[in-house]
Chains A and B, each alone.
Chain A
Amino acid sequence: MADLGCAIAGIESINPFWLASAPPTDKQYNVERAFKAGWGGVVWKTLGLNPPVINVTSRYGVHKDTARGILGINNIELISDRALEVNLREIEQVRKNYPDRIVIGSMMAPVEEELWKELAIKIANAGVHGIELNLGCPHGMCERGMGSAIGQVPQMVEDTTRWVREVVDIPVFTKLTPNTTDILLPAEAAMAGGAHAVSLINTVNSIIGIDLDAMAPNPLLDGKGTHGGYCGSAVKPIALHMVAEIARNPATKDLDISAIGGITTWRDAAEFIALGAEALQVCTAAMLYGFRIIEDLNDGLSDFMDEKGYRSIEDFCGLAVANTVNWNDLNMNYDLKASIDKDTCIECGRCHIACEDTSHQAILMEANAAGGRDFTVVDAECVGCNLCQHVCPVPECITMNPVENNLPHLTWPEHPKNTLQTTE
């Protein structure tokens, strides 16, 4: 059986699954339930200076698909609303009760060096394995000059990281906000400030929906709503991209990454690891299903690794990074054609209408002798876009098959029709 142990920023964890700084890690009770369930670590809910913040009700809105699935949660909860000392005492207790599990202290403060240093020391003294700087919260705290208000200014990212580094001797994680145009700028700033690792992504700034009766954003508070932080499986593609950018950027490629963003299944976890994440953080999936999901996260990841022959997380960490390239590096001579398996086709016509209405009119629909319809790909019109395969409800009914054209690898910069001879 594969070894799920991992190491990030010099911290060794029994598995790569930590709970992210959020409501599930707000207090000792929840954290100990998580550890009992099998989570490798937690990032404690963000601690601030006293007096603690006051939260409002309601706090969550959700984005659903047309069935009952929740694609994402948007929250407007602030950082821990419990006294700093209460939190620190509980952290000490948890460390004693669960010595083999990781506890990271998350923190935020106004941009004043003394405040950051004072808080970082207090948290470190509670016995945490590392400190994570919350520079990402995009709602509420940013209006007070914290959270994403810091994370969006690279100089502040560097400064706060450095301040904390200067006063503690444990690993420092700088948590990045995705609410920025280029994730490399804050990542490089964190590195310049001496971060041992970056954690990303924090939540995506969002309005989850409008209550059309109240004519106000959800979640609704006394007739008003505000923007909040979006998380859950819907943000995973955004997170994958940002993790990949850091992992393949020469200046940041050696920075350890604690990946966050919609990790719901073992497969999500493996994808982030493949893009260079040393460890992972989960929140929304646990909020939706409870801590017990750790069982399949561990089991599924372990099975996948066994099947592929990876003995450790390190064995496949970053294996997809080199294959994540710019568009200009893609082979333009590679050709795919769709093929429809008539034996498993249920004749719904989804592929036909998707192609007919919105793509390349490459799927014919013809009446067959049995009174049904036959769907056939016209190779000459098929551009291999995959849309038919994606809309097909039957697993493996539509396959995309490479055409053996014996043409050489050819990128756009090399292409004879590229009259501008764009090379970048």
Chain B
Amino acid sequence: MGEHPQISKTGENLTRDEIAANFDDLHPPLNLAQVRVQSSRCLFCHDAPCVTACPTSIDIPKFIRQIATENVTGAARTILSANIMGGTCARACPTEILCEQKCVLNVGEDEPIEIGALQRHAVDHFMAEGRAHPFVRAAATGKKIAILGAGPAGLACAHALAILGHDVEIFEARKKPGGLNEYGLAAYKMANDFAAQETAFILEIGGITIHYEKALGRDVTLGDLRAQFDAVFIGHGLGHSNQLGIDGEDQDGVLDALEFIAQLRQTDDKSKIKIGQNIIVIGGGNTAIDAAVQAKRLGANHVALVYRRGASQMGATDWEQDLARINGVAVHLWAKPLRLNGEGQVQSVTFETTRLENGKLVGTGNTHEAQADMVLKAVGQFLDDDALGGLQTERGKILVDQYGQTSLPGTFAGGDCIASGEDLTVQAVEDGKVAAAGIHAFLGGK
């Protein structure tokens, strides 16, 4: 579809086809000519900065060279051996602040190589060819590891452990695997049910069983898992959305942005989704952008994204902010919500303008009211540590050492629930990899 959305041509609501087009690939795959141009641009840098910038350290110059020599299968192996979710990362990574930001051609030619798009080309090619799984399992160790959460961290950890010969059981709170890849990323980044395809690919390694609708604290306990398994990996994310903590939050029309996105992702015919015509998204991260842009692409007339600080403090990258503007999202900075007004159904939001005073955010006392029939809250998530009894946490995240081990021996953690880096799929994959190596060592492996 591209970065520019379909907009109504008649003044009427968007048609079903227009909405479907709006949720097709944001960035369609490169065609072969583009692949040739992009891959031949790569300088094959020595000790390449793009590799250093990748949380999973994919050997980017090597895989691009493999694409250029038409060894596309080899390119996919190079990618997947460093990052089993190379397919999702190729689609969802904010490459503009990772590999592509460090590409030396930013300086040399004012334009980086499209690394993400090339990575997608290689992985998609591999998966489309339906080749045998590119990894084989070591001899069975007889060890069993429990993993909490079938998201990026859990699946990456499980896959790495399975390769090492261990057996893995994953306990997943939801009905489907994939975590935020399945429920949390914008639909146009993960077109054609890619998260499910990728999970199926990962599970081809064997030795991984997933138990669905098994949540920590509700259906399983950490104590039981630690007793029944040789090691435990916690990769269930943060799981709980922050509330605004202001009056009127419990009215109809006030939704958690992540739940809105999850609903979008799980609905095949997106024209059936009920959408307001006057939507306010509160927050400044990528989830806020994803929610706002998708609301616009569903056909909402007015979508405003309101953030209490300035553009440079936003968690969303510049590219994401631009995407919001291209899609017709009005971005309002320096305003915080005071209350949600309405009588059971939200009708407006009262904002107070803000400013920085000695580095601290303060209200100015100036308020204004903005009409809204739908409010999407995207002000972050938090970790509910009630079920983690005994595990040390710090600033709302599970504390781990360099091997991903928590304060409890044999219990490891990774992904959004630890503070390893940005809350990104690619970081979660790396955390899973690191913890798998840690668990293997803990179990006496070499």
From A69, which residue of chain B is reached at the shortest CB distance? B40
Q: Give the shortest distance, in Å, between B214 (CB) and chain A (any CB).
A: 44
Binds B, one of A35-43, A166-174, A344-352: A344-352
Q: Give the shortest distance, in Å, between B172 (CB) and chain A (any CB).
A: 40
Known: A66-B68, A66-B69, A394-B108. A349 touches B37 (CB 8 A): no
- Give the contacting residue for A68; candidates B36, B69, B107; CB below 8 A: B36
From A64, which residue of chain B is reached at the shortest CB distance? B36
Q: For residue A373, which residues in chain B have a CB less than 8 angstroms away from its CB?
A: 47
Cα(A353)–Cα(B39), bound, Å: 20
Q: Is A56 an interface residue (CB 8 A)?
A: no
Q: Give the shortest distance, in Å, between B208 (CB) and chain A (any CB).
A: 38
Cα(A394)–Cα(B107), bound, Å: 10
Cα(A373)–Cα(B49), bound, Å: 10
Contact assessment for A347 and B49 in the assembled complex, using a CB-CB cutoff below 8 Å: yes
From B37, which residue of chain A is reached at the shortest CB distance? A67
Contact assessment for A347 and B39 in the assembled complex, using a CB-CB cutoff below 8 Å: no
From B39, which residue of chain A is reached at the shortest CB distance? A66
- Give the contacting residue for B47; candidates A67, A346, A365; CB below 8 A: A365
Cα(A68)–Cα(B31), bound, Å: 14
B37, B44, B45, B48 — most chain A CB neighbours (10 Å): B45
Q: For residue A365, which residues in chain B have a CB less than 8 angstroms away from its CB?
A: 46-47
Q: Is B43 an interface residue (CB 8 A)?
A: yes
- Give the contacting residue for B45; candidates A65, A66, A67, A348; CB below 8 A: A348
Contact assessment for B104 and A347 in the assembled complex, using a CB-CB cutoff below 8 Å: yes
Q: Is A52 an interface residue (CB 8 A)?
A: no
Contact assessment for B37 and A350 in the assembled complex, using a CB-CB cutoff below 8 Å: no
Q: Give the shortest distance, in Å, between B45 (CB) and chain A (any CB).
A: 4
Q: Is B105 an interface residue (CB 8 A)?
A: yes
Q: Is A290 an interface residue (CB 8 A)?
A: no
Contact assessment for B36 and A393 in the assembled complex, using a CB-CB cutoff below 8 Å: no
Known: A66-B68, A393-B108, A394-B108. A350 touches B36 (CB 8 A): no
Contact assessment for B37 and A346 in the assembled complex, using a CB-CB cutoff below 8 Å: no
Known: A66-B40, A67-B36, A68-B36. A353 touches B46 (CB 8 A): yes
Total A residues in contact with B, Cβ cutoff 8 Å: 16
Q: For residue B43, which residues in chain A have a CB less than 8 angstroms away from its CB?
A: 348, 350, 393
Q: Give the shortest distance, in Å, between A212 (CB) and chain B (any CB).
A: 11
Q: For residue A372, which residues in chain B have a CB less than 8 angstroms away from its CB?
A: 49
Cα(A68)–Cα(B107), bound, Å: 24
Q: Which of B243-301 contact A (CB under 8 A)?
A: none
Contact assessment for A350 and B45 in the assembled complex, using a CB-CB cutoff below 8 Å: yes
Q: Give the shortest distance, in Å, between A45 (CB) and chain B (any CB).
A: 33
Q: Which of A45-92 contact B (CB under 8 A)?
A: 65-68
Cα(A67)–Cα(B38), bound, Å: 9
Known: A365-B46, A365-B47. A346 touches B39 (CB 8 A): no
Cα(A229)–Cα(B40), bound, Å: 28
From B67, which residue of chain A is reached at the shortest CB distance? A66
Contact assessment for B46 and A348 in the assembled complex, using a CB-CB cutoff below 8 Å: yes
Q: For residue A68, which residues in chain B have a CB less than 8 angstroms away from its CB?
A: 33, 36-37, 40
A-B contact count, CB below 8 Å?
Answer: 44
Q: Give the shortest distance, in Å, between B52 (CB) and chain A (any CB).
A: 10
Interface of A, helix, strand, loop or mixed by DSSP: loop
Q: Which of B68-122 contact A (CB under 8 A)?
A: 68-69, 104-105, 107-108
Cα(A115)–Cα(B178), bound, Å: 81
Cα(A346)–Cα(B37), bound, Å: 20
From B108, which residue of chain A is reached at the shortest CB distance? A346
Contact assessment for B104 and A67 in the assembled complex, using a CB-CB cutoff below 8 Å: no
Contact assessment for A348 and B37 in the assembled complex, using a CB-CB cutoff below 8 Å: no
Q: Give the shortest distance, in Å, between B337 (CB) and chain A (any CB).
A: 39
Q: For residue B45, which residues in chain A have a CB less than 8 angstroms away from its CB?
A: 347-350
Q: For residue A348, which residues in chain B have a CB less than 8 angstroms away from its CB?
A: 43, 45-46, 48, 104, 108
Q: Give the shortest distance, in Å, between A278 (CB) and chain B (any CB).
A: 38
Q: For residue B49, which residues in chain A have a CB less than 8 angstroms away from its CB?
A: 347, 372
Q: Give the shortest distance, in Å, between A340 (CB) and chain B (any CB).
A: 14
Q: For residue B47, which residues in chain A have a CB less than 8 angstroms away from its CB?
A: 349, 365, 373
From B40, which residue of chain A is reached at the shortest CB distance? A67
From A375, which residue of chain B is reached at the shortest CB distance? B46
A347, A352, A353 — most chain B CB neighbours (10 Å): A347
**1/0 per residue A331-349: CB within 8 Å of B?**
0000000000000001111
Q: Give the shortest distance, in Å, between B31 (CB) and chain A (any CB).
A: 13
Q: For residue B39, which residues in chain A have a CB less than 8 angstroms away from its CB?
A: 66
Q: For residue A66, which residues in chain B have a CB less than 8 angstroms away from its CB?
A: 36, 39-40, 68-69
Q: For residue B104, which residues in chain A have a CB less than 8 angstroms away from its CB?
A: 346-348
Q: For residue B36, which residues in chain A have a CB less than 8 angstroms away from its CB?
A: 66-68
Cα(A348)–Cα(B49), bound, Å: 8
Contact assessment for A349 and B108 in the assembled complex, using a CB-CB cutoff below 8 Å: no
Contact assessment for B44 and A346 in the assembled complex, using a CB-CB cutoff below 8 Å: no
Cα(A375)–Cα(B26), bound, Å: 40
Q: Which of A380-424 contact B (CB under 8 A)?
A: 393-394
Q: Give the shortest distance, in Å, between A230 (CB) and chain B (any CB).
A: 22
Q: For residue B69, which residues in chain A have a CB less than 8 angstroms away from its CB?
A: 66
Contact assessment for B107 and A346 in the assembled complex, using a CB-CB cutoff below 8 Å: yes
Cα(A314)–Cα(B410), bound, Å: 85
From A397, which residue of chain B is reached at the shortest CB distance? B108
Q: Which of A172-212 contact B (CB under 8 A)?
A: none
Q: For residue B37, which residues in chain A have a CB less than 8 angstroms away from its CB?
A: 67-68
Contact assessment for B105 and A346 in the assembled complex, using a CB-CB cutoff below 8 Å: yes
From A392, which residue of chain B is reached at the shortest CB distance? B43
Cα(A352)–Cα(B43), bound, Å: 13
User: A-contacting residues of B (Cβ < 8 Å)?
Assistant: 33, 36-37, 39-40, 43-49, 68-69, 104-105, 107-108
A-B contact pairs, 24 of them (CB 8 A): A66-B40, A66-B68, A67-B36, A67-B37, A67-B40, A68-B33, A68-B36, A346-B104, A346-B105, A346-B108, A347-B45, A347-B104, A347-B107, A348-B43, A348-B45, A348-B46, A348-B48, A348-B108, A349-B46, A349-B47, A350-B43, A350-B44, A365-B46, A394-B108
The 8 closest A-B pairs by CB, nearest first: A349-B46, A67-B40, A353-B46, A346-B108, A346-B104, A348-B45, A346-B107, A66-B68
Additional 12 contacts, C-beta under 8 A, given A67-B36, A348-B43, A350-B44: A66-B36, A67-B37, A68-B37, A347-B104, A348-B104, A348-B108, A349-B48, A350-B45, A350-B46, A353-B46, A365-B46, A365-B47
